[in-house]
Structure 1
Amino acid sequence: MTKSPYARPSYYYGLPDMYMQMGYFPFPTPPPPAQLTRNSPYAHPLTDPCQSFMGQTEHIDVSDGEYGFASLVNPLRSSVLLYVNQWLLTNFSSAPIQAQIWFGKASSIGKAKTSSQVTSGYIQLAACPAAQGQIRFGSGGAHDEPDGVFASTRIFPPLTTAGAEPHGQWVIGPGMAMVLRVPHAGEKPSFSFFANWWEQPLYEA
């Protein structure tokens, strides 16, 4: 009669139980996963929902020979870091548009409007404090900003919304900005910009 499998000695990667009882393990025990702390930026959206914000621009129409831009700006004396969670660009044109992503000093942006369409991501009766970060937008003559770098170029199909989710890996310090610049090319571009971010104080008690 075949012995029941439950009566057989168990093995750990081919080693009998006697080795297990002696405390011998053939592979090192993996370290415990790192725990999120109050000082970790990834914990902030969970611990303080009033630090999460979002907003968008108005429609931006680009005239011939100019470029349109939209930006997430951290003012110079904000005393916070902006962690970019998500950004989106909506192309209202019937032709593809090219957007250049620029990082650098906010003072290089030039004349721009500040969007009033910014809100906390935590909707409640007692309003959260206003965001330190600002969404600015506008258009102007083409030129190269000296105090920054064009880090990426994206192509957006017509009549679509697309973007990216850095999940806080893009961090904007005080006095700095992230800008999407759309040059006029062929058909007149028309677009809007959305961003979602959270803010962490530079110095915490």
Structure 2
Amino acid sequence: MYNKTVSISNALEKSFTGKYFVGYGDNLTFGSGTSAWAGLFNPLGSGVYLFVNVWTVTELLGSSPLRAQIWFNTAPPGTPVTEELVTPSNTALHPLPRPRVQLLKASNVAGSPSGGTKAFVRRVLPYSTQEFQEEGKYIFAPGGNLVVFLSNPETPVDKAEARVAFGWWEEKFYTL
């Protein structure tokens, strides 16, 4: 007789338990010297940690490559809008779980993020989607955020449009 062992990914386990969510900031427009951004914001008092699993950037117009700056715990410019395109990944649960983390976005903003840390920069080619697997290694306590800040520095006067998508899970707040 033998023992059977099954291994599943952390993201799948979080989906089974109703802790995994997906969403995207759509119709992010910029150009003529402006930028756009989308991000995951863990509100103060949420009671959860935010674990970023994956994020993607899609360039939609094809005029030039985009610059995607990834910021941790920043104050991005502009007036944010709450994105409603968010869902739990496990739709078999009833009632459906609701995320505590918010997906916010802003288009045609002037200026740059302030405070926080610009963690790194990525280039997104025209008519492409770039995917970045983080596997939960980016962790944000209540009050923290991950922002993907978009610009088109090679052709700053041209109109640009993009989409930023996220997959994340939430765990109850505890002392790390």
TM category, shorter: 0.7 to 0.9
Give the corresponding residue for 1:151: 119
1:142 aligns with 2:111: yes
Corresponding residue for residue 192 of structure 1:
163
- Unaligned residue ranges in structure 2 (runs of 5+): 1-6
Matched, 1:122 2:93: no
Q: Deviating runs (4+, > 6 A) in structure 1?
A: none
2:68 — aligned with what?
99
Q: Does the CA-based 8 Å contact 2:88-2:96 persist in structure 1?
A: yes
Out of 28, 34, 49, which is 1:66 matched to?
Answer: 34
Following superposition, the deviation at residue 57 of structure 1 comes to 1.2
For 2:171 and 2:11, the matched residues in 1 are separated by 7
Q: Amino acid of the residue matched to residue 143 of structure 1? A: S
Deviation at 1:133, TM superposition (A): 1.0
Tell me the SS of whatever aligns to 2:13. helix
> Alignment partner of 1:57: what SS?
strand
**Alpha-carbon displacement from aligned partner over 1:4-61 (angstroms, at most 9, x marks no partner):** xxxxxxxxxxxxxxxxxxxxxxxxxxxxxxxx9xxxxx75752653001000112111
Structure 1: where are the runs of 5+ without partners? 1-35, 37-41
Aligned mates of 1:199, 1:125 — CA distance in 2:
16
Query: Structure 2: which amino acid aligns with 1:52?
Result: Y
Relative to the length of structure 1, the TM-score reads 0.72
Which one has the largest radius of gyration?
1
Match of 2:142 among 153, 174, 180: 174
**Residue type matched to 2:170 in 1?**
E
CA separation in 2, counterparts of 1:129 and 1:163?
26
Supply the distance in 1 between the matched residues of 2:11 and 2:52 (Cα, whole angstroms): 13
Partner of 2:54, secondary structure, is strand
TM-score with structure 2 setting the length: 0.83
Query: Which one has more relative contact order, counting CA pairs under 8 Å at least 6 apart?
Result: 2
The alpha carbon displacement at 1:163 in A equals: 2.2
Q: Structure 1's 99 and 44: CA in aligned 2 closer, same or farther, altered over 3 A?
A: closer
With over 3 angstroms needed to count, the CA separation of the structure-2 counterparts of 1:202 and 1:176, relative to structure 1, is same
Partner SS state of residue 79, structure 2: coil
Query: Is the Cα–Cα contact under 8 Å of residues 18 and 93 in structure 2 kept in the other structure?
Result: no
The number of aligned residues is 161
1:157-200 deviation digits (Å, cap 9, x = unpaired): 10011121110111111111101111243132210110001110
User: Would you say the 8 A contact 2:58–2:128 is kept in 1?
Assistant: yes
Aligned CA distance change for structure 1 residues 125 and 50 (closer, same or farther; 3 Å): closer
